[in-house]
Amino acid sequence: MTTAVLFVQNTSVSSIASFNDKISNEIPKILDPWSFELKIYRTNAIVGKLLAGMNQQNTTQAKELISRVMYTLNLSYTPKQTISIVNNEVTIFNTDRSKGDELLDHGCSTGFYDPIDSIIQNKLNALWQPLQGLKGEGGNSYEVTLDEEDVFIIRTANCFLHGGFKGFLVEMTYEKGGEDGEEKIKSLIKKLNFPNGKLSFDKLGDGKENKFFGDLAFQYTQALQI
């Protein structure tokens, strides 16, 4: 499976409509509406102040720490998980109770879960401060088949930062595995004449677990240039 994320800036709220029309010409299978929320946290400013108070703000370690950024991505089509990336390390947090039976059975779970964003904001706020929240709303999703065998899932959504329109985002997934996934997505973009924007095929690196969602979340952060 190969994914890519395209972010189109310098456009208007209505331009997504003409883009959706373009996709409709390919007679897609219409899938469920969707939305996403990408939250960005940075190291609490207090950490920098305290290190400065001890004249330790300029060490490599301190600089790295002070500039650290954490992302959490919630995708409505996987409602019970949150993908989190810090320093290119990815973890997926689940709030799906059915997944925790083994833990519950061994006495290591309360059986009730909280979204990780709520834990960060309530209990990790000494270290992490919310910086921005980007929302993708009113999203459409399609399954498009090209050349009779190449199946793509295309999701589009308008992006808002603190309520202000920022552009629109296109998430693309090429269902089949294999080396040529990137080429297939590029040919999709060409064939459907997607508008220009920041396109990300970035990957977190080999050997990472949670690879699919990890890479996808990383592409969101790269395409949205944040």
Partner 1 sequence: MVQELSLVSTINKKEFNFVINSLIALTGQKPRSLTNENIIYSPIINLKYLQSKQAINNSVNLNQIEQHLVKIRRSWQMYSPGKKNPNVVVNEILSNDNQLFMKKVGAGDVKLGERDTTNDGENQYSFQISDIPAAGKRKVSSQTIYEVNIKQSATALRSYMMNLGYVEKQRFLIKGLKFLYNGVVNIEIFQVFAIDATDGKTVVQIIDGSENWFLKAYVNVAKITDISLINKASSDLALLQKNVGNLIKLKIPDRGLMDSRINDNL
Picking from 94, 117, 92, 86, the residue whose alpha carbon sits closest to that of residue 221 is 86
Cβ nearer to partner 1, comparing 35 with 44 = 44
Task: Among 9, 35, 109, 222, indicate the residue that binds partner 1 (CB under 8 A).
Answer: 109
Helices and strands (H, E) in the chain, number of each type: 7, 9
Q: Which two tokens stand for residue 127?
A: 């270290």
> Which residue among 31, 40, 92, 226 contacts partner 1 (CB under 8 A)?
92
Q: Pick the closest to residue 140 from 20, 51, 13 (CA basis).
A: 20
* 164 part of the interface to partner 1, by CB under 8 A: no
Q: Work out whether 44 is an interface residue with partner 1 (CB under 8 A).
A: yes
Residue 33 or 115 with smaller CB distance to partner 1: 115
Nearest to 71 by CA among 34, 36, 33, 46: 36
State yes or no: residue 218 binds partner 1 (CB under 8 A).
Answer: no
59 binds partner 1 (CB under 8 A): no
Token code pair at residue 108: 């290591």
Give CA–CA dist 103/118, Å, rounded. Answer: 21
Residues that bind partner 1 (CB under 8 A): 44, 46-47, 49-54, 65, 68, 70, 84, 86-87, 89-96, 99-100, 102-103, 105-116, 118-119, 122-128, 208-210
